[in-house]
A and B are shown apart, each in its own frame.
Chain A
Amino acid sequence: MTAPGARPPARLSPARWAAWLVVIIGGVAASLAMEVSGWYASPAFVRPEVAYQTLHSAVPWVFGICAIVGLQLGEKRLPIVMMIGLTYLWIPQLFFSVIDQVGWLWPLVQSIDLAWALLLGMIALAYPRGRFVGRVEWAVVIVGVGASLVRLAFVLSSDSATPATCGCAPSPYGFWGDLTTFLLGDLIYRIFGAILVMFVAVRQFLGWLRGSSPTRSVAFVMPIGLLAWLLALIVEAVSFGTTAGPDQRSAGLVVTTTSGPVSIVSLFAVASIPICYIAGSVHLRNTRGRVADLMSITRDGADRELWRESLARTLRDPGLEVYWWDDARGAYTDSESRRVELPVEADAPTRTLLPIAAGDGSPIAVIRHDRALTENTRLLDGVSTALRLTVDNGELRTEIQRTLAQVRESRQRIVEASDETRKRLERDLHDGSQQQLVALAIQLRTIVSAADAEGRTEIGAELESALDRLGVALRELRELARGIHPTALVEGGLPLALPDLASRCPIPVSTEIDLHERMPELVEATAWFVTAECLANIARHSSARQAWLGAESDDAELRLSIRDNGVGGASTLAGSGITGLADRVEAIGGTLELHSPPGEGTTIRVRLPLAPPLRPGLA
């Protein structure tokens, strides 16, 4: 679909609104002035019935009002301009009585007195897109405009009226022909116009017949209005051709058979066309509004069949099908994932395909819809855009989720790696240096015994002091190893390590530990780390007299709760130790909850899933 059709017109500024209103009111007022002045200037015997004249005067009002409504709806400018133009060009025949003494003016006015019909036809032709599409429409426009220009030149140059025949001032432009040639030319123009209108009307009517689209429900007025107008035109042309003669024209410049039901119908037909235009637009707009619902359906993750149904309902095309592009299979599939070979339009002449591609040109789907819907460019644009947006949206979401998963995984890997490193370091210390030093102590002790046995007590005493220093070194190494990785955790898991931690806290910690099985190492290490940090925080900042440590686990998660009766007011703001804790907890898919009102102590609750969410095999 063409993108420009989908762009809604910009909102009008107040100044522009005022300008439009002035132009519209000017047209309606000018037309009314022509009607009224013509009425009073004409002799009573040429005046039509008052009812007819009133109706005739009302037509520009209808066009003006429709133009205002169209502006408000943000309709395309072209039909609105044509509607406004029509109010200016709606020249009553009676008006010639006003200007027939102004020789330079009346031939000019007469040459454009049927231009309204051209505009009217073009309005009908532009429906419902608001512009002319395709060669046929442009050809009709060009032929119509061309014929009108020819008529303009013809009317202006023909010496149709003389003071003798109409009692008007002589035309300064006329140089050939007479009334008969003038009337003939006028008749040919009218017949030609009628043919063009017939063409437009038949086109509209056929489009309506084909359609299962919303145009059918409302826009039937348009072709009917056109047909009525066409009928009136034909009748007029025929009666004009048969009855109009020098006798009638001698009464003035009036070239009309303004009487009888046909002319009334003609007026109604003319006035119906802008109304049809606007009403049809409003209806399409409603349908477009429902397209927005489609987006919310898709956003809610509804299945493809539901989406197809909603689209079919929205477009009132029950036979509508949506074929989705399947990247893996390299083909389109229907809503039941059956492969579909395109094109499939050949089997049904009333169907056509609307391919929808993503922003990068990759295919998303093909909508197979009633051909009549192509009339409704904006609606289909709405559908395309909705679909494209939702697909793009979905892809973005998938992308974000994928990235997020990757980030989480890598965060977890980093935590695991650092945990692993610490563990290995502690193990190396335990199995290496510590064992070596203990073995060395045993060896030294043996030497001490030997030295003592040999009576070399001074060597024995020196070795004793070396042994003491070795003992100190061992103790320091023990503390170091404990700091690198909790040895109690290694040996006894959380049931051992948490009480051990609590016992090292300078503030009394009462513990309630209900843990049975050993948990994944990463979970244990995280729980230990969090508890250690929290207890350290309590010791350092809380001024608490007592702390409580709770830990319980089930098959799914480990829950920690660390509470104190201190000053409270802890925050998770950046830079606080708690942020680091939360990071560490979240790295393995857990949650940390802080409750620390000032003066009421601090409670931290941590939940750690036993199976890491991203890599279940990790545990």
Chain B
Amino acid sequence: MQPGRPALRVAVADDAMLLREGIGKVLADGGLEVVASVSSGEELADVVEKGAVDVAVLDIRMPPHFRDEGILALERLRESGSQVGVLLLSMYATPEYAMRALAAGAGTGYLLKERVSEPRTLVAAVETVSGGGSVVDPEVVAQLIQRPRGDEPLSRLTERELSVLECMAQGNSNAGISRQLFLGVKTVETHVGNIMQKLGLKDSPDNHRRVLAVLAYLGSR
């Protein structure tokens, strides 16, 4: 949280009261303003509609069916044209799910629920999605990278390139990657260019598109 800027207004949706409170506390401790704490996707939609929310943090499995209500809520928000940041929390790391969530549009994140015990990760993710960035849980990316493939262009990547690719898949921008891997931005750009070329992907100045492309590549076999 940078001083001088108004605190991000966050709405939390989770049907488990204990977690809702915990998440709210973590976010508040991180300097964010928790403006609503609800237990279903519908209530969240009402809150977002009122326009007083920058980011929604929501559980995927919620009433009434305990299936994919969170992701449905996200899709409805995007359909209605809302650009509010959405961070989905899930007990399980499911790549296809992460891809479905990100496909809904920019400003979307997908994190394992247990990340809420890492305040910095959670707050950073909320801030990223509020700014239109993408967040994908490292575990999801790890699963995707480990997927068996018939043809293996990933093996042509250097170890460093692989790390960069992982960061890209997690939604990081070049600047983010350079911070995370302690590399110069120019170096990162070179690596990204090489990776995209080796994988036969088109680089895109739009970070969200790049994440989608990388995820789609990793998700395909």
A positions within 8 Å CB-CB of B = 427, 430-431, 434-439, 441-446, 449, 467, 470-471, 474, 478, 481-482, 487-488, 490-493, 495-496, 499-500, 502-503, 505-511, 545-546
Q: Is the CB of A445 within 8 A of B148?
A: no
Asked if B221 and A471 sit within 8 Å, CB to CB, the answer is no
Name the distance in Å between A551's Cβ and chain B's nearest Cβ.
Answer: 14
Contact with A along B43-60 (1 / 0, CB 8 A): 000000000000000001
CA distance A488 to B60 in the complex (A): 11
Determine if A445 and B118 form an interchain contact, defined as CB atoms under 8 angstroms apart.
Answer: yes
Contacts of B143 in A (CB 8 A): 503
Q: Which of A442, A481, A491 contacts B68 (CB 8 A)?
A: A491
A residues within 8 A CB of B25? Answer: 442, 446
Complex partner residue of A471 from B18, B19, B67, B114, CB under 8 angstroms: B114
Once the chains are docked, how many angstroms separate the CA of A45 from the CA of B132?
A: 143
Among B22, B60, B95, B118: residue with most chain A CB under 10 A: B22
Binds A, one of B86-94, B155-163, B174-182: B86-94
12 more CB-based (< 8 A) A-B contacts, given A445-B26, A446-B29, A495-B96 = A430-B61, A438-B114, A438-B117, A487-B91, A488-B96, A488-B97, A491-B68, A492-B97, A496-B96, A500-B95, A500-B96, A503-B96
B68 adjacent to A492 (CB under 8 Å): yes
A482 to B93, CA, bound (A): 11
Establish whether residues A505 and B91, one from each chain, have CB atoms under 8 Å apart when the complex forms.
Answer: no
Q: Tell whether B12 is near chain A: CB-to-CB under 8 Å.
A: no
Query: In the assembly, what is the distance between CA of A503 and CA of B29, in Å?
Result: 38
Task: Report if B73 contacts A (CB, 8 A).
Answer: no
**Which single member of B96, B114, B149, B150 contacts A499 (CB below 8 Å)?**
B96
Q: CA–CA, A470 to B100, complex, Å?
A: 29
Instruction: State which of B18, B117, B221 has its C-beta within 8 Å of the C-beta of A436.
Output: B18
Q: Is B138 an interface residue (CB 8 A)?
A: no
Asked whether A503 lies within 8 Å of B66 as measured between CB atoms, the reply is: no
Can you identify 23 A-B contacts, CB atoms within 8 angstroms?
A: A434-B91, A434-B113, A435-B16, A437-B114, A442-B25, A442-B117, A445-B117, A445-B119, A470-B117, A488-B92, A488-B94, A488-B96, A490-B66, A491-B60, A491-B71, A491-B97, A502-B221, A503-B144, A503-B147, A507-B148, A508-B221, A511-B221, A546-B150
Residue of B nearest to A496 (CB): B96
Residues of B within 8 Å of A446, CB to CB, are 25-26, 29
Q: Which residues of B contact A508 (CB under 8 A)?
A: 148-150, 221
Q: Which residues of A contact B100 (CB under 8 A)?
A: 492, 496
Q: How many Å from the CB of B123 to the closest CB on chain A?
A: 12
Q: Out of A474, A492, A545, which one reaches B114, CB within 8 Å?
A: A474
Cα A481 to Cα B94 with chains together (Å)? 13
Interface residues in B1-28 (C-beta closer than 8 Å to A): 16, 18-19, 22-23, 25-26
Contact status B22-A478, CB under 8 Å: no
CB of B14, distance to nearest CB on chain A (Å): 9
Establish whether residues A496 and B97, one from each chain, have CB atoms under 8 Å apart when the complex forms.
yes
**Cβ–Cβ < 8 Å partners of A546 in chain B:** 150
Asked if A439 contacts B66 (CB within 8 A), the reply is no
- Cβ of B116 within 8 Å of any chain A Cβ, yes or no, is yes
| Smallest CB gap from B119: residue in A | A445
* Contact A444–B117 (Cβ < 8 Å): yes
Indicate if the CB atoms of B116 and A441 lie closer than 8 Å.
yes
Chain A contacts for B116, CB-based, 8 A? 438, 441-442
Q: Which of B61, B96, B117, B150 interacts with A441 by CB under 8 Å?
A: B117
